[in-house]
Amino acid sequence: MKKYLLLIAAFSLTFAGIACDSSSTDANDVDEDPLFGVWLSEGENIAPGLAGPPFNNVRIDATFNDDNTYFVESEDAEGAVVQFTGTYQTTEPNSEGIRGITLNQSTPAALVSSGIFRIEGSTMQYEVIQEGLTGVEPPTVEGGFGSTNVGGNPTGPFWIQSYVRVD
C-alpha cells in the first residue's frame, strides 16, 4: 500500500494538469495544440525519480485530449499497471517554448499537480510535482527544467520526463 501511495504522489509530481487554448480564425480552421495526442516514455526517457525504487517504472503512456482531459497508464518492472485520469490547463509558452501546466487528477486519488513542459517536434520534456507536499516546490516556467525544489534544494533532472509522440 505504501508503494501505491508513493506512486500516486510521484505521478502527481510527474503528471499534473494542463489547459490549452485552441484558437481559430474561422469555423473550419482550428489550430490544434501540439500537446493533444498519445505520448510514450520508456527506458532512459523515464525520469530517474520514477525509474528507480520504489516505483521502478518501465513504461508510461500519456494521452492528452482536446477537451482538456488526460489519461495516463504506468507500468512497473513487475508488470503492475496504475491508471491516472483528470483534467488539465496550460499556459502560453515563454520565449524558450516552456509552458506551465496544472493537472487536476481525479483517479486513483484526487489531487493537484503543477509544473512545466516543452514540445519540440515529436518529443516532449515534462516536469511536474504534486502541490501541497511539505518542503516541495514545483518547477516554474521562469526557473526552467530542473527547477523543482525539495527542502530548498533544486532536484535537477531527477523529475524530468521525456516523451515521444506515438500517434
At 109 the three-state DSSP class reads: coil
* Matching residue, cell 533532472: 157
How far apart are alpha carbons 145 and 39 in whole angstroms? 19
Hey, what domains does the chain have and what are their CATH numbers? 2-22+30-165 (2.40.128)
Threshold 0.85, pTM exceeds = no
Which residues in the chain show pLDDT less than 50?
A: 1-29
pLDDT in tens, 108-138: 999 999 999 999 999 999 999 999 999 999 9
How far apart are alpha carbons 61 and 83 in whole angstroms? 10
The pLDDT, as a whole number, for residue 30 is 52
The pLDDT, as a whole number, for residue 32 is 81
How crowded is the C-beta side of 42, counted as CA atoms within 13 Å? Answer: 12
How far apart are alpha carbons 17 and 99 in whole angstroms? 12
